[in-house]
Structure 1
Amino acid sequence: MINGAYLLLGSNLGDKRAMLCQAIEKLSQQLEIVSKSSLYETDAWGIEDQPSFYNCVLHVKSRLQPQNLLQLCLEIEKELGRKRIVKWGERIIDIDILYYNDVILDEPELKIPHPYIQERMFTLIPMAELAPDFVHPVFGLTQKELIAECPDTLEVRRVEW
């Protein structure tokens, strides 16, 4: 069965744009990339004393199950030099699964939908660009509705790919 997922990619170290492009290229070797959002820059969220992030969202299709998709994302992060040191800390690449079909999954290593979607404009804005009417399976709200309720005040700026 072909499954649809939305992935959030982020980077705030080195050549952020180039790193995201490398990650997209590696993902495209294993997944069908249906669409890609614009590229956005946002000040760091969570731990604020670090460089700004570049983020984008991909809509992908695959036969992979959620755990296998997570494994692929983690392998690509590792290949590109990701070191997990501090939660919400600086990172050369980050690939998160936001949604997987309308699945709700709560496992120690994998939570779908991503538990912070509704709290982060840097996630909601590119997500809404691709699928404004996609309904969050837990909250029953569209991405546009989640934006209207989001407490995050960080500015999300579109930048050139």
Structure 2
Amino acid sequence: MKTAYLSLGSNIGNRLDHLRQAVRLLHDHPAITVRKVSSVYETEPLGLTEQAKFLNIALELVTSLEAAELLRACQSIENKLGRMRKIRWGPRTVDLDILLYNEDSIQTEDLIVPHLRMQERAFVLVPLIEINSEVKHPSTGALYREEPAMREEGVILWKQIQNAGEFLQQD
């Protein structure tokens, strides 16, 4: 079994429900177990700023899937939940990004792990560090909690979550 960390975001419609549905679909996958879910954070959009605020979470999961298979599972969930890829950095029902996969460095046409620029994005790091403060870059060994982005403003706690079960049970 491999450990992976994902970042999820939503800024269209019922944002929390989209995140919860995505986590349920991951959890229901026979080769994936969601171990940890961060609290929910609200953030300003990046890139295209004329859109609604995002809700963001991070997940820790274990899986028997290879990285490319996990990517396909994530993309399938995005599609099921109505994700449209019309505008780069545009609004979305849900976005699932693989941040880390084991301690692997992966670079293919479809997948780069660790996720590019994650260390520069507080909306990724804050939820990630909440679920694992010791997570580090697989190649450099640098702790993500020590990245300068961790000191940025604008990542607002929106809903405290204690554990994955609590997140999945709420309505």
> If the TM-score is normalised by the length of the shorter chain, which range does it land in?
over 0.9
Which residues of structure 2 form unaligned runs of 5+? 162-171
Q: How does 1:1-161 map to 2 (within 5 A)?
A: 2-30=1-29, 31-146=32-147, 149-150=148-149, 153-160=152-159
Percent same amino acid at aligned positions?
35
TM-score (norm 1): 0.94
1:138 offset after TM fit, Å? Answer: 3.2
C-alpha contact 1:131 1:143 (8 A) present in aligned 2: no
TM-score (norm 2): 0.88
SS of 1:56's partner is strand
C-alpha contact 1:9 1:96 (8 A) present in aligned 2: yes
Taking the aligned partners of 1:153 and 1:32, their CA distance within structure 2 comes to 31
C-alpha contact 2:126 2:150 (8 A) present in aligned 1: no
Against the structure 1 CA distance between its residues 52 and 152, is the aligned structure 2 distance closer, same or farther, given a 3 Å change threshold?
farther
Taking the aligned partners of 1:151 and 1:123, their CA distance within structure 2 comes to 9
SS of 1:150's partner is helix
Q: CA RMSD in A?
A: 1.4
1:139 offset after TM fit, Å? Answer: 3.5
1:45 offset after TM fit, Å? Answer: 1.1
Against the structure 1 CA distance between its residues 24 and 56, is the aligned structure 2 distance closer, same or farther, given a 3 Å change threshold?
same
1:116 offset after TM fit, Å? Answer: 1.7
Q: Deviations over 1:87-142 (max 9, x none)?
A: 21110110000000110011111000100211100000000001111111134211
1:152 offset after TM fit, Å? Answer: 7.9
1:48 offset after TM fit, Å? Answer: 1.3
Q: Which runs of 4+ in 1 moved over 3 A?
A: 151-154
Q: Who is 2:169 aligned against?
A: none
C-alpha contact 1:6 1:58 (8 A) present in aligned 2: yes
Against the structure 1 CA distance between its residues 136 and 22, is the aligned structure 2 distance closer, same or farther, given a 3 Å change threshold?
same
Between the two proteins, the alignment pairs up a number of residues equal to 158
C-alpha contact 1:120 1:152 (8 A) present in aligned 2: no
Which residues of structure 1 form unaligned runs of 5+? none
Equivalent position amino acid for 2:17 in 1? A
Taking the aligned partners of 2:101 and 2:41, their CA distance within structure 1 comes to 22
1:151 offset after TM fit, Å? Answer: 8.3
1:144 offset after TM fit, Å? Answer: 1.0
